[in-house]
């Protein structure tokens, strides 16, 4: 976040809205790693959702006069039903998102100067003109977040770590060379890949020589529409052939290393 965006509005609630929106964004993002425990459906929440929400906070604060107060109902609706809620299709996920919005985006939270999202995770209220104070305080937050920060049961971390470990071990097992137990002469997967890569490299046609192509273009008429199209297609095919050749050579080298 730039300092220009950070200091866009002079209203006291503005920085509160930005920080709460950012905290909400981290929660909805981090809950995804817990799989079905976090969200029933793995939604693709991203930077655009956070940025659009911050722009709404700017516009909402700009539209208010000094005597007007923040419309918390509008803020909660935009967060839970439009910006982030627009991606949510499951009824229970929508219910959870509305619970986050109704709990954190309210006058009660804004006026409570002792509010904590979770012990050790305070609602920061610095009034400086740059983001450095916030970043300095954020760096002091715990490096490893317990599931309770995301409003999950402590056992959610056990499930997450178990799933992650199983995926890691499954991947390790899958990349191991596979040999047939009944046939000692059966080829391993690396041998098959190396052989196929060699065969494809032998079948690869040679790259076109640029100077020869230029002479051919002149003979056919370099400015003719069909020749221009031909030249463009040849240039694209050259790039494809180079990429395929490089990929096959890299794959062949990797297979050779694994065989060793």
Residues 184, 20: Cα–Cα separation, whole Å: 63
147 contacts 156 by C-beta, under 8 angstroms: yes
Q: How many Cα atoms occupy the beta-carbon half-sphere of 224 within 13 Å?
A: 9
The predicted pLDDT at position 251 comes to 85
Helix (H, G, I), strand (E, B) or coil at 91: helix
> Would you kindly state where each structural domain of the chain is located, as residue ranges?
3-169, 189-259
Q: What share of the chain is helix, strand, coil (3-state, %, to 5)?
A: 65, 0, 30
Q: What is the pLDDT of residues 196-212, one digit of tens each?
A: 888 888 888 888 888 88
Average pLDDT estimate for 56-68 = 88
Least confident residue range of 65-69, 71-75, 178-182: 178-182
Look at the pTM and tell me if it is higher than 0.85.
no
| Domain 3-169 = CATH 3.40.50.620 | no
Q: What is the pLDDT of residues 131-158, one digit of tens each?
A: 888 888 888 888 888 999 999 998 998 9
Which percentage of the chain shows pLDDT scores above 90?
30
35: left (phi over 0), alpha (psi -120 to 50) or beta: left
């Amino acid at each position: 976040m730039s300092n220009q965006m950070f200091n866009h509005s002079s209203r006291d609630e503005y920085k509160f809205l930005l920080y709460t929106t950012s905290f909400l964004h981290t929660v909805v993002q981090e809950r995804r790693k817990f799989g079905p425990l976090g969200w029933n459906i793995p939604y693709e929440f991203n930077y655009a959702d956070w940025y659009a929400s911050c722009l709404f906070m700017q516009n909402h604060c700009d539209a208010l006069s000094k005597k007007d107060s923040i419309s918390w109902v509008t803020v909660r609706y935009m967060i839970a039903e439009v910006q982030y809620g627009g991606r949510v299709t499951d009824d229970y996920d929508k219910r959870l998102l509305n619970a986050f919005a109704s709990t954190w985006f309210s006058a009660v939270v804004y006026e409570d100067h002792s509010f904590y999202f979770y012990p050790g995770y305070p609602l920061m209220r610095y009034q400086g003109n740059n983001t450095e104070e916030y970043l300095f305080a954020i760096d002091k937050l715990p490096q490893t977040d317990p599931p309770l920060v995301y409003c999950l049961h402590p056992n959610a971390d056990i499930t997450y770590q178990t799933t992650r470990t199983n995926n890691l071990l499954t991947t390790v097992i899958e990349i191991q060379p596979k040999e047939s137990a009944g046939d000692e002469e059966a080829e391993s997967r690396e041998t098959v890949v190396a052989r196929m890569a060699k065969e494809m490299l032998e079948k690869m046609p040679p790259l076109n020589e640029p100077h020869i192509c230029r002479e051919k273009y002149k003979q056919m008429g370099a400015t003719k529409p069909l020749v221009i199209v031909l030249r463009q297609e040849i240039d694209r095919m050259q790039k494809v052939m180079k990429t395929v050749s490089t990929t096959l050579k890299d794959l062949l080298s990797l297979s050779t290393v694994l065989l060793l």
